[in-house]
Amino acid sequence: MSSDDHEQPGGPKPADKTFVQPLRRDPVGAPPAWRELLGREHLGAAIVLAGGVLVGAINIYLAASLLPTAVSELGGESFYAWNMTVYLVAMVIATMLTGRFLSRWGNVGAYLFGFATFTVGSLVCAVSASMAVLLVSRGVQGLGAGLLSGLGFAVIRSALPAQLWTRGAALMSAMYGVGNFAGPAIGGLFAQFGSWRLAFAAMAVIGAVCGAMVPRVLPRSERSSGRVPIPVVSLLLLTTAAGAVSVAGVVAGTSAKAAGIGVALLLAAGFVVHERRSELRVFPRTTYQRGSSLKWVYLTLGLLSFGVAVESFLPLFGQRLAGLPPLVAGFFAAAISLGWSVTQIGSSSVSGDRAVRRLRVLGPALLALGLLVQGLLQRENTPILLVIVWVPVLFAAGAGIGLAYPHLSVAAMSSTPDPEEGGRAAAGIATVTSLSIAFGTAVAGALVNMGGASMLDAARHVLFGIAIVCGLGALTAYAANRTSRDGQNPFPSGP
């Protein structure tokens, strides 16, 4: 925590009490039941916060199922691969601006703008007359989705009482898993009947309905009266890095993919160097201080999200190695997201500092182990009995994300009592998640190419390679636990 947060005479500013309720630090007290979060008092806020994250997550993969049908009508096959690239880069940009929107327009204004942008983008997607228009509208849709994803975590601090932060973070996190599961299924359903435009129209309706609820269910927050500066250099560096990663995911050839990933790593390093020295930054100042736990929390969240990238390729492996029909292969792949979402229901009930610390380390270790075992189970002409084993293994891998993600999210949100810095820390969760999914997808694409003509080798390269990267999350989680235990940057294990 920054010394700036404590050097003011008389303690924190009175405004802090308006935005951030006192943290409940009782390590043995059980978190409130889910019915309190989903009860009448907080249900509307929960729907808006979760709905914003959900529509963004669904639309990451929704278009992938719709594009073959759209291309047959619109043409523009050469732009096929850029559809997800444009959307993900737009999402990353918007998540980085979440704190600025909150400061300038407050909770309600920022959410209304986010839902309006997403709805307009979805409507233009639905009426697109060419692939070029569809790509531009996907970018607009991505901007709205990214803002909503960032707001989902950032507004938890003011929309829910502190004792519900863990439940709220679990709900927001679960929406990524549900979206990854539902996106391909919904897209495939509409594509099956040749109604790809209706899928985007349905997304617009959902966005409009949630937007209409905002003024009635969200608390209004104070807005900054002055001009809110934008960290232009940080935004350019990280946006360019996201673009390089996304391009690496669509170009052909291992060398080209590796070059794109290498450029992205250099730009990300430049981003960190600049942020450490600048007064205008995307992430809170706490992130870059020596002895800070927050940087390790973000790294662990990123490594957990990195593992989700394998879902893009699991349907391919299921079809080629086991002869599964496309629909069945897609549902097999969704076992990771299902495990992620379901596990969080129980994980968010865990209280106690020691138990939470263990879950933070266990989560990435279980994710890595699940992917490693899945790699060992890959075979040419895989027998059906072995295919059946894939489901619990992939579910267990996803459960690793669900065990740790909500507690890491609360650690980030609770890293500072300052409302502006706290909102920035919370919005950073969505930025890290979106960027890591994009980065992981590009790396997985490069690993597939390394397999050459052998689909079995490609599957093993992806699963073993991603498992090794995700396994590093256990080390970063341990570092976060150790740093907070030393008291250099104390944060509660949960409110």
Per residue, what are the HEC states of 35-91? HHHCCCCCHHHHHHHHHHHHHHHHHHHHHHHHHHHHHHHHCCHHHCCHHHHHHHHHH
Question: What is the distance between the alpha carbons of residues 461 and 251, in angstroms, rounded to a whole number?
Answer: 19
Q: Are 394 and 332 in contact (CB under 8 A)?
A: yes
Final residue of a structural domain among 230, 250, 273: 230
Question: What is the distance between the alpha carbons of residues 110 and 208, in angstroms, rounded to a whole number?
Answer: 14
**Would 23 be classed as within a structural domain?**
no
Give the other-Cβ count within 10 Å of 74's Cβ.
18
The three-state secondary structure class of 494 is coil
Residues 213 and 117 in one domain: yes
Question: What is the distance between the alpha carbons of residues 387 and 394, in angstroms, rounded to a whole number?
Answer: 11
Q: Into how many domains does the chain fold?
A: 2
**Would 9 be classed as within a structural domain?**
no
Residues 117 and 183 in one domain: yes
Question: What is the distance between the alpha carbons of residues 182 and 84, in angstroms, rounded to a whole number?
Answer: 16
Residues 221 and 291 in one domain: no
Question: What is the distance between the alpha carbons of residues 312 and 290, in angstroms, rounded to a whole number?
Answer: 37
Residues 78 and 148 in one domain: yes
pLDDT at site 113: 96
User: Where is 350: in which H helix or E strand?
Assistant: none
Question: What is the distance between the alpha carbons of residues 336 and 315, in angstroms, rounded to a whole number?
Answer: 12
The three-state secondary structure class of 230 is coil
Residues 314 and 411 in one domain: yes
Question: What is the distance between the alpha carbons of residues 182 and 203, in angstroms, rounded to a whole number?
Answer: 12
Q: Which two tokens stand for residue 47?
A: 């729907």
Residue 264 CB contacts under 8 Å (≥ 6 apart), including other chains:
241, 242, 244, 245, 248, 439, 442
Question: What is the distance between the alpha carbons of residues 103 and 230, in angstroms, rounded to a whole number?
Answer: 11
**Would 177 be classed as within a structural domain?**
yes
Question: What is the distance between the alpha carbons of residues 140 and 349, in angstroms, rounded to a whole number?
Answer: 37
Q: What are phi and psi of 206, to 5 degrees?
A: -60, -45
Question: What is the distance between the alpha carbons of residues 41 and 38, in angstroms, rounded to a whole number?
Answer: 8
**Would 20 be classed as within a structural domain?**
no
pLDDT at site 422: 74
Q: For residue 284, is it left (φ>0), alpha (ψ between -120 and 50) or beta?
A: beta
Residues 76 and 213 in one domain: yes
Q: Read off the CATH number of the domain in which 80 is found.
A: 1.20.1250.20
Using alpha carbons only, give the angle 186, 192, 194 rounded to the nearest 5 degrees: 105
The three-state secondary structure class of 488 is coil
Q: What range does the domain containing 120 cover? A: 34-230
Give mean pLDDT in consecutive 10-residue pieces for the chain, a chain of 495 residues: 40 37 38 66 88 89 77 76 80 86 88 96 94 92 93 85 81 82 78 84 94 90 63 86 79 82 91 88 84 91 91 84 80 83 84 90 97 95 91 95 91 78 80 84 83 89 96 95 62 40
Q: What are phi and psi of 321, to 5 degrees?
A: -95, -30
Residues 81 and 224 in one domain: yes
pLDDT at site 51: 92
**Would 128 be classed as within a structural domain?**
yes
Residue 152 CB contacts under 8 Å (≥ 6 apart), including other chains:
49, 50, 52, 53, 172, 175, 430
**In the 8-state DSSP scheme, what is residue 392?**
H
**Would 207 be classed as within a structural domain?**
yes
Question: What is the distance between the alpha carbons of residues 277 and 233, in angstroms, rounded to a whole number?
Answer: 12
Q: What are phi and psi of 378, to 5 degrees?
A: -75, 135
Q: What are phi and psi of 86, to 5 degrees?
A: -60, -45
**Would 275 be classed as within a structural domain?**
no
Final residue of a structural domain among 230, 252, 268: 230
**Would 425 be classed as within a structural domain?**
yes
Q: Which two tokens stand for residue 150?
A: 């960032």
Residues 115 and 203 in one domain: yes
Residues 201 and 61 in one domain: yes
Q: How far, CA to CA in Å, does 112 sit from each of 25, 85, 142, 158, 213? A: 34, 25, 15, 16, 9
Q: For residue 2, is it left (φ>0), alpha (ψ between -120 and 50) or beta?
A: beta
The total number of residues shown for the chain amounts to 495
Final residue of a structural domain among 230, 265, 294: 230
Question: What is the distance between the alpha carbons of residues 283 and 96, in angstroms, rounded to a whole number?
Answer: 8
Radius of gyration of the chain (CA): 21
Using alpha carbons only, give the angle 378, 380, 382 rounded to the nearest 5 degrees: 65
Residues 378 and 448 in one domain: yes
